[in-house]
A and B are shown apart, each in its own frame.
Chain A
């Protein structure tokens, strides 16, 4: 039972354009959502997060949007840069699960110069 799903295994965009990565979830108890970025042969690194009481959070070129009614979140990267090429994981935390995260499958983003 995949509670967090990233239905696009890969995404390819041109440098300077917008990248939009999507994530859907099924558990209405999730109260915190995160995006992690992972380069090959490295561990994931935290990128940006959003609480369920908000619908948007912005940090520089990265913006996360949360649509609770649709159980959907998205990560926007504007403008995209070749260094953004990586695997992006969305993750969610349930209200009573303390630090336990449920991860999506990941989306491979490739930004072409």
Chain B
């Protein structure tokens, strides 16, 4: 099993350009997440999808859109990139969490994005 895969690994954009970060998981997980990691900030949730067909905003959703294409794939789109979106982006997946139990999240290797 590949687990969680992300493409591309690296990307450089100019301000105003758009791009889509791709994420796929082969663990048959229901829930998927997009995080960004910035120095001194830890990981912050951008969007998540509790199950196929649903998406919800996380802590820092502004400037991003997401699509849960199917159970396996969850993409993150930057419509008009800004230098403040320079970051490392991680996708994660988990079994559907409930209020009574928690299922660990499995992370992909990340995409390092630079916006000039």
Using a CB–CB distance below 8 Å, which chain A residues touch chain B?
Answer: 4, 6, 9, 32, 34, 36, 41-46, 49, 51, 89, 91, 93, 95-96, 98-106
Contacts and interface: CB of A to CB of B under 8 A. Distances in A.
Interface of B: 4, 31, 33, 35, 40-45, 48, 50, 58-59, 90, 92, 94, 96-99, 102-110
A99 B94 contact: yes
Contacts of B42: 4, 6, 89, 103-106
B105 A46 contact: yes
A43 B109 contact: yes
A98 B4 CA distance: 20
Given A44-B43, A89-B42, A100-B45, 6 more contacts: A34-B104, A42-B109, A93-B97, A96-B99, A99-B105, A100-B58
A41 B109 contact: yes
Given A34-B104, A42-B109, A103 B44 contact: yes
Nearest to A9: B40
B97 A43 contact: no
B102 A105 contact: no
Given A4-B42, A99-B50, A43 B110 contact: yes
Contacts, number: 66
A46 B40 CA distance: 20
Contact of A43 (B40, B59, B90): B90
A44 B107 contact: yes
Nearest to B3: A43
16 contacts: A42-B110, A43-B90, A49-B104, A93-B102, A95-B99, A98-B31, A98-B50, A98-B97, A99-B96, A99-B103, A99-B105, A103-B35, A103-B42, A103-B44, A105-B42, A106-B42
Contacts of A44: 43, 90, 107
